[in-house]
Amino acid sequence: MSEVIKNRYDFVFLFDVKDGNPNGDPDQVNLPRADAEDQHGLVTDVCIKRKVRNYVMLEKELKPPFDIFIRQEQVLNKIIDAAPGEKIQQRQESLCNTYFDIRTFGAVLSTGDKGAGTVRGPVQFTFARSEDRIYQAEHSITRCAVTTEEDAKKQESREYASTFGRKTTVPYALYRMHGFISAIDARRTKFSEDDLKLLWKSLINAFENDRAAARGEMNPRKLVVFKHASHLGNELSGRLFERVKVAKNAELPRGKEDYTITVDKEKLPLGIEVKVWPEENLF
């Protein structure tokens, strides 16, 4: 492993969706998530973290120190209890050394017979929010096959046996997510320079191996990284985020060309360095 990061980072991640559901809401019959007051689209931080974890699983093949703690068929209490060490701090260190997502996002490890307390991760995401209001389109779909003999008998009288279902999509939306990386918390989990490069790579490739008919086309459009010279930071994150501006070029956006994304690099605060993907390489 490389050395632990020594700088604070703030970043803006912009991605879009076309004719897909980026993050369904189970409380709203799986409609694309939206702000109930202004109808802007939402994608939860948990959704994006899942895609990051999935990419790391594929690239690193679950081999330490890049194993993934939060994944399907994982019995968490068994792993927590099996972590070596008599003290909570020792078990936390062992788990952080093994699992990329604990080093990165943190984890609640207080369950099980032994427990290992709670680890605060250095990397935090906000919800992603669409630049404009979204339209939650609903589509009727049909299928010619049935799942039970009962359904088959009900459809015997029809010329073409079919059943109906629903599919929901967003015609097009550009989403914006903010992120924060703490050098202070990185010291505790040993989040390293290699981990940081893998995080950038995971965000950019988050949708490439996560294709599904329900999600339509999802693509990263811009990743803007602000690096602070200080471990505590050289400027307020909110002021840095204001330097990333999105202008609408069409009344009804239906593609990436209907938005212009600009990054103000003029008169940057002392100690702030900015890199922008895809114009610049981040890993």
Helices 45-60 and 193-204: angle between axes, nearest 10 degrees: 110
Query: What does the pLDDT read at residue 161?
Result: 54
* Domain presence at residue 227: yes
Query: What does the pLDDT read at residue 157?
Result: 62
Query: What does the pLDDT read at residue 142?
Result: 81
* Domain presence at residue 182: yes
Sign of CA dihedral 229, 230, 231, 236: negative
* Residues shown for the chain: 283
Please compute Rg for the chain using Cα positions.
22
Domain that holds residue 273: 9-138+167-277
Query: What does the pLDDT read at residue 164?
Result: 74
Domain count across the chain: 1
Sign of CA dihedral 112, 117, 122, 126: positive
Task: Answer whether 81's CB lies under 8 Å from 75's CB.
Answer: no
* Domain presence at residue 173: yes
**Other Cβ atoms within 10 Å of 58 Cβ, number:** 14
Task: Answer whether 158's CB lies under 8 Å from 190's CB.
Answer: no
Tens-place pLDDT, residues 143-179 = 777 777 877 777 666 655 566 778 999 999 999 999 9
**Other Cβ atoms within 10 Å of 251 Cβ, number:** 7
* Domain presence at residue 4: no
**Tokens describing residue 99:** 């699992």
Query: What does the pLDDT read at residue 59?
Result: 97
Query: What does the pLDDT read at residue 240?
Result: 98
Only one residue has tokens 């999802």, namely 218
**Per-residue pLDDT in tens (0 to 9) along the chain, 283 residues:** 799 999 999 999 999 999 999 999 999 999 999 999 999 999 999 999 999 999 999 999 999 999 999 999 899 999 999 999 989 999 999 999 999 999 999 999 998 788 899 999 999 999 999 999 999 988 988 877 777 787 777 766 665 556 677 899 999 999 999 999 999 999 999 999 999 999 999 999 999 999 998 899 999 999 999 999 999 999 999 999 999 999 999 999 999 999 999 999 999 999 999 999 999 999 8
Task: Answer whether 14's CB lies under 8 Å from 174's CB.
Answer: yes
Tens-place pLDDT, residues 206-226 = 999 999 988 999 999 999 999
**Tokens describing residue 257:** 């060309």
pTM of the predicted protein model: 0.93
Question: CA–CA separation, 183 vs 231, rounded Å?
Answer: 5
* Domain presence at residue 146: no
